[in-house]
């Protein structure tokens, strides 16, 4: 497993500061936050980001996130898909192998909507394969469809593309209707990315992204997830992903140090391993 820190954890810090401070804090990998990346690249070339990461020996195996692909229609759909294709080209140029896509399926569902989801995922996987990028579908606990690991795994299996897999976000796993036995559906072939966080003192029904804390600091039982990752020999990235405004106040160097330490402890890895 490759411990990583998501740039959403230090949302307000400049991109260069993330890279420099994460590297100084012995963070070996970063999950790129595409909004921050695209803002930084507004007046720069992708090669400059690639060089920056290489100079600080910071891997960038995954980027987050692409939304709006699955059930959008009309002009909104065209805009989302144009943005998606641009991002695929960018990630291919940067050498980022995995893109997290949001399972943002909301509103009433009928057969037409279900067919649109399946068609969209199949088309997205085909475009990603052409770009040499994998797509990690992140199920969302508040979605109308695929709000749990079991359904998300079934959809991925039905599409049957080697470039479409799962993103397991511990937050959505625990606050939604997923069950511990669903972890048995994870395999080396369908699990493309993992995001860990925790939640403390907040009922799951009232939880929001802003309540996320560092993994191991809250009430989630992360041990079954880690045990399953070890059982299947998962070798991909495992990111800390918090969206807590209070944690955004912590400088990237400090957050990187405490974040990767917390993550390694949860994963059962030595501090230098």
- pLDDT for residue 270: 55
Q: Is residue 273 part of a domain?
A: no
| Residue 241 resides in a domain | yes
Distance CA 205, CA 149 (A): 18
Number of domains in the chain: 1
The whole-number pLDDT of residue 154 equals: 97
Q: Residue 112: what pLDDT?
A: 84
- Is 272 within the bounds of a domain? no
254 belongs to a structural domain? yes
Alpha helices in 132-233 (DSSP H): 149-159, 170-175, 223-231
Quote the pLDDT of residue 130.
98
pLDDT tens readout for residues 45-64: 999 999 999 999 999 999 99
For residue 210, pLDDT over 60 is answered with: yes
244 belongs to a structural domain: yes
What residues have CB less than 8 Å from 57, skipping those under 6 apart? 23, 28
23-44 residue pLDDT tens: 999 999 999 999 999 999 999 9
What range does the domain containing 60 cover?
2-267
- CB atoms inside a 10 Å sphere around CB 12: 10
Query: Would you say residue 140 lies in a domain?
Result: yes
In this predicted structure, what is the pLDDT of residue 273?
Answer: 35
| CATH code for position 242 | 3.20.20.150
Determine phi and psi for 62, rounding to 5 degrees: -150, 155
Question: Which residue has tokens 């740039």?
Answer: 7
82 Cβ contact partners less than 8 Å away, ≥ 6 residues apart: none
pTM of the model: 0.95
Residue 272: what pLDDT? 41
Question: Phi and psi for 200 in degrees, rounded to 5?
Answer: -130, 125
Cβ(164)–Cβ(182) below 8 Å: no
Beta-bridged to residue 168, according to DSSP, are 194
């Amino acid at each position: 497993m490759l411990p990583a820190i998501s740039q959403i954890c230090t949302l307000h810090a400049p991109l260069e500061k993330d890279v420099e401070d994460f590297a100084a804090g012995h963070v070996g990998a970063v999950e790129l936050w595409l909004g921050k990346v695209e803002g930084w690249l507004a007046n720069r070339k992708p090669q400059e980001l690639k060089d920056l990461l290489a100079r600080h020996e910071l891997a960038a195996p995954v980027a987050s996130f692409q939304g709006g692909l699955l059930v959008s229609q009309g002009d909104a759909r065209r805009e989302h898909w144009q943005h998606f294709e641009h991002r695929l080209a960018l990630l291919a140029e940067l050498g980022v192998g995995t893109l997290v896509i949001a399972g943002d399926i909301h509103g009433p569902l009928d057969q037409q909507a279900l067919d649109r989801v399946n068609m969209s995922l199949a088309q997205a996987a085909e475009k990603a394969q052409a770009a040499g990028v994998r797509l990690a579908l992140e199920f969302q606990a508040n979605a109308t469809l695929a709000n749990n690991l079991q359904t998300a795994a079934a959809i991925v299996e039905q599409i049957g593309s080697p470039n479409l897999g799962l993103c397991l976000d511990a937050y959505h796993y625990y606050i939604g209707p997923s069950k511990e036995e669903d972890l048995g559906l994870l395999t080396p072939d369908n699990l493309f990315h993992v995001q860990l966080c925790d939640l403390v003192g907040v009922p799951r029904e009232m939880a929001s992204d802003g309540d996320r804390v560092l993994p191991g600091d809250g009430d989630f039982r992360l041990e079954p997830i880690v045990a399953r990752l070890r059982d299947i020999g998962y070798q991909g990235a495992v990111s800390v992903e918090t969206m807590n405004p209070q944690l955004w106040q912590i400088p990237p160097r400090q957050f990187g140090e405490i974040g990767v330490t917390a993550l390694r402890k949860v994963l059962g890895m030595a501090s230098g391993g």
